Structure 1
Amino acid sequence: MTKAREDLAKWVGSEILPHERDLRLWLQRRFVAATEVEDIVQECYCRLARMTDVARIAEPRAYLFTIARNIALEHRRRASVVRFESLSEMGDGQAGIDLLSPERILAARQDVGRLQSALATLSERARRIFLMRKVEGLSQKAIAEALGVTETVVENDASRSLRTVLRLMTEAEPEAAPSQAGGAHARSH
């Protein structure tokens, strides 16, 4: 893993992750239905993960909110476009259905495998916190109560876990199998 990818993961963890809760609330109030918020937040992280340099971003919070606003507006634009197709193009009723190509299925499976490998590098508590936060959408307070730890522990584990997962997911080639990784902090360059 390059130093730039590692720096990006650290930057996201320290400069972006603390604003996620506010971003979710802002999106719900201003732009989208609650069901779309998770998709927009995840797309924000995907766009951030593709960045090569964050040095010129003076206001990370404002940058994050701008990305989210632009994604929300893109979603609105796409939703307002109505596609008209002739009956002859519809054939057997499959028109308009996004059929997954073998390439897309393979890519998705590879992404899931990389995510599972990344999660396997986390401690049991960190993995549970990550899943409770990112998959189940629980608040830090609810997670802290469920696990019997402080909210600070939840916040710290969630931040470190997200940095680790983002770093491992954005690597071009996985450097080591989960059993060789030795934990989230074992690899450093």
Structure 2
Amino acid sequence: MNRDTQVELTQLYINHKGWLSHFLKKRLNGSHQAADMVQDIYLKILVSGKVPPKDYARQYLVSTAKNLIIDKNRRWRIEQAYLESIQNLPEETHASPEYRLQIIETLIEVDVLLHKLTEKARQAFLLRRVEGLSYQAIATQLNVSLSSVEKYVAKGLQACAMAMMESDL
């Protein structure tokens, strides 16, 4: 990051930290969560190396804050669902905390991947791959044609294949 960008980021922080913190306190459960989120927002800007123009700084910060809150809530829901799913398993089958974190991170990556699909494609893919429904049953449930279901499931499979090629899922 060059010197000018550092100065811009510092000025952005000084000018907007107060109201951004207040904005987040109203939406989160406490000032420590708001302070953490403010730091996360500025870290995200720092990592990207792109400081928003002064005229759009508040809009950019609010948009980034809302997206981070959505991501945080999604992560929490995924963690809770995972922990709930293993709570009735025998303790000797529980994974180590490190492995649990890896599982949760993988589940979050899969969730992000699935949310890049259209709603119907995501539903069709999950109904087929998780619930094991037939294509005809999915078509009936989603009120779409059989060929649409085939296309939706194919899009889901294609997205998974692409993600596997891009990372180590």
Q: Which has the higher contact order (CA 8 A, sep 6+)?
A: 1
Structure having the higher helix fraction is 2
Shorter-chain TM-score tier: 0.3 to 0.5
Larger radius of gyration: 2
Q: What is the TM-score of this pair, normalised by structure 2? A: 0.46
